[in-house]
Structure 1
C-alpha cells in the first residue's frame, strides 16, 4: 500500500472516530475565514477612527483621560506613540474638533461605525450557519453592541491592573470579562437564535485568544508603533494598527467558528443541547 493511500486511510479512520475533525477542517479550509477577518478588521479600523475623534471632541476631560490611560495600557504606548495619542485627546484639540465636527457629525460617525457591528454579526451568523437577521430586529443591537464595546475599551486600564492589585489579578479578570463579553456579543448579534450554553466554547476561545494578544501587544506594539511613526509618519501608524487589528479579528473569527463547530459536534453537543436529530 502506498504512503498516500495509507494516509487517506488514517484520515478516514480519524474522521469516523472523531467526526468533529472533518467538520472543523472543512470549515477552516473552505470558509474564507481570513477574508472575513480582513473585512472585519477594516470595518473595525473605519469605526475606531471617527469614534476616537468624536470622544475627543465631546467627552468630558475625565473620560478623555480614562480613554488615554486605557489605550496606553492596551498597547503599552511610549515615546512618540504616546505623544500622538495625547495630542488627539488634549483639550485644545478637543475644542477645535468640536467646532469642526458638530453634534450631527458625531451622530453620523456613530451610525457609520455600526458597519463594524454588522460585520461582527455576519461573522457570528456564518459560524452558526444562520441567515442574516432582519434589519428591524438587528439594527438596535448593532448600536447597543458598539456602545458596550466602547465602555469595555474605556475601562481597560483599571481592568488590566486588577483595579489596583496588579497584573496577577488583572489578566485573569481580563479573561473572565472577555468570556462574558463574547458570550453576550454572540447572543445579542445572533438575535437570540442560539441559546447561551452552546455559545460558551466560542466565548472561551475568543477570550483566550484576546488575552494572549493583549499580553503580546504590550511587548510588540510600543516598538512597532514608534518605529512606524519615525520612518513613515502617520501612514506607518495606520499600517501598524491595521496589521494588529487583522490579527485580532482573525483570532476572533477563528475562535467563534471553531467554537460553533465544537458545540454542534460530538461529544460537546450532548452536553450543550445541540445534538442534531436524525430524520
Structure 2
C-alpha cells in the first residue's frame, strides 16, 4: 500500500471516530450546589446521571424531586460511569482529584467575582455540555439610578454586611443603588453606627429558620431606625450561586428604588 493511501485511510478513520470523540456528554454528574442548579436550569434531565445531595439539603421551589442524586462518595460517583463531572473551583477538591486520576472528565468552573465573569461562567458551563451558547442569558445594561442616591445595606446572617469589591456590590450598583458600606469585602457591622446613620433600605439576605444568626437583624434599635417597608427581601438562593437568575435579581432590586 502506498504512503498516500495509508494517510488517506488514517484520515478517514479519524473522521469516522470524530463524532464519537466530540459527542455531547450524556451522563453528567454535579459535585456541588451551584452545579446542581445550573444543570437543573439548562440540561435535559435524561443527560443528568446525578446531582449532589446538596440540592435536597437546600431545596428551591423550581427544582423538582425527580432528579437523581449521589452521596458524594468516590465509589458512588464512579459507579455512575459519568462522561462529564462538573464542579466549582472551591468544592470537593479531593473527590474531583481522585476522579480525574481515574480518567473521568472533570470540568472545574471558576467562581465569578464580577458580572462580566458571570456571563463567561454560563458559557463555560454550556460548552462543557455541548449546549448552544445562544442559551446564555443576556446581561442587562446598567439601570438608571435615582437623582438622589439611595443607600442599600445588604445584611446577611450574624451581622455581616457586604461591602465594595464584591459581586454583590456590583449587582447593587447595576440595579441603580449605592452600597451603604464603603469598606471592602464582607464586614462585621456596628449596630450603633447604623442606628445613628441608617441606610435608605436594608436588604435582608440570609437563610430562614436560623434564630441565632438572625439576632442582629431583629434588634429593636435597628428595626426602629429603618421603617418596616424599607426592609426588602429576595429569594436567598439567588445570592448563593451566580447564574442566569443573577440578572433577574438586578431587575428586582431596581424595582424597589423610589
TM-score tier, shorter chain, comes to under 0.3
> Is the helix fraction higher in 1 or 2?
1
Structure having the higher Rg: 2
The TM-score, its normalising length taken from structure 2, stands at 0.27
The TM-score, its normalising length taken from structure 1, stands at 0.25
> Is the strand fraction higher in 1 or 2?
2
